[in-house]
Amino acid sequence: MAQANNQQDRSILITGCSSGIGECVAYGLHERGYRVFASVRNPKDRATFLAAGMECLVLDYCDSESIKAAVEQLLEKTDGRLYALFNNGAYGQPGACEDLSREAIRRQFETNVFGWMELTNRVVPVMRAQGYGRIIQNSSILGFTAMSMRGAYNASKYAIEGFSDTMRLELAGTDIHVSLIEPGPVESKFRTNAYRAFQQHIAVDDSVHRERYRKMIQRFEASGNVQPFTLPPEAVLKRVLHALDSKRPRIRYPVTVPTYLFAGLKRLLSDRMLDRILKRVG
């Protein structure tokens, strides 16, 4: 089967590199000799990547033109090839399902789902033409386990899991591999960004959940409030490396103890029994 055969061909496009997992994976792969195209939403965030010797594109998942332009710019530099795509940029919209406006849900899906699908669909023909490729989707434990107050984010990650599972079936027989990474809590700006989305879209005082929201706000605002079993983003980098380097990349890469735990419980317990546990979490 065709393979990426030299260093020059080990190119990867990574989205959402301004902080957290994307930033860590960009630097980690650059250090290991990959040709990293880091992408950021805000042009101001490009400088540090360029200074570190990486290439850096502007890509906003909510903007089709920016997705198209970023892919075109990349392909111009790589002679029309791309070894791998790491879909990573996303945010969590907290709030009870019944409190989510259409606009809040739409924004969540434009970013976490539609943008990922559109970018992936721009990249698949490139991979088909060259005969190989890796598509790595940064899903979540919340891509297969529900958690209350996370309905929009849950739905977005379940959607990515479904899309990726289907795509894998359609790419069977090619040397293009689709892997899902499923992290539990990881150190990043995720919570800060989720709190911002919460403040933008949730009318606390109008909700039957206002007491619960007030407790959530306290947790958001408490500095040093780290969830149990939180890992550094290098834990995700390790799985991305496997998905890139292995001849037989895994379909799913669980990351953190809670992901392993809930993946196991989901297989063992009935939905009702699992609900009993999940009602107490989160």
Ligand X SMILES: NC(=O)c1ccc[n+]([C@@H]2O[C@H](COP(=O)([O-])OP(=O)(O)OC[C@H]3O[C@@H](n4cnc5c(N)ncnc54)[C@H](OP(=O)(O)O)[C@@H]3O)[C@@H](O)[C@H]2O)c1
Active site residues: 153
Binds ligand X (CB under 6 A): choice among 78, 111, 120, 164? 111
Where does residue 76 rank: exposed (0-12), middle (13-18), buried (19+ CB within 10 A)? exposed
Burial 183-207 (b: 16+ CB within 10 A, else e): bbbbbbebbebbbebbeebbebeee
Span near ligand X by CB under 6 A; candidates 178-186, 216-224, 241-249, 262-270? 178-186
Window 197-236: contact mask with ligand X (x via CB under 6 A): ----------------------------------------
Window 116-145: contact mask with ligand X (x via CB under 6 A): ----------------------x-x-----
First and final C-alpha spacing in the chain: 46
Of 185, 140, 130, residue with least CA distance to 161? 140
Tokens linked to 63: 């903007």
Window 2-41: contact mask with ligand X (x via CB under 6 A): -------------xxxxxxxx------------------x
Nearer residue to ligand X within complex by CB, 130 or 138: 138
Residue 42 in the binding site for ligand X (CB under 6 A): yes
Nearer residue to ligand X within complex by CB, 4 or 94: 94
Binds ligand X (CB under 6 A): choice among 26, 34, 82, 89? 89
Residue 188 in the binding site for ligand X (CB under 6 A): yes
- 112 and 156 Cβ atoms separated by less than 8 Å: yes
Span near ligand X by CB under 6 A; candidates 69-77, 94-102, 162-170, 185-193? 185-193
Q: Which residue is nearest to ligand X (CB)?
A: 20
Nearer residue to ligand X within complex by CB, 120 or 140: 140
74-77 long-range Cβ contacts below 8 angstroms, 24+ apart: 74/11, 74/13, 74/37, 75/126
For residue 204, what is the DSSP state?
A: G
* DSSP string computed for 86-119: EE-------B-GGG--HHHHHHHHIIIIIHHHHH
Binding site for ligand X (CB under 6 A): 15-22, 41-42, 59-62, 88-91, 111, 115, 138, 140, 183, 185-186, 188-190, 193
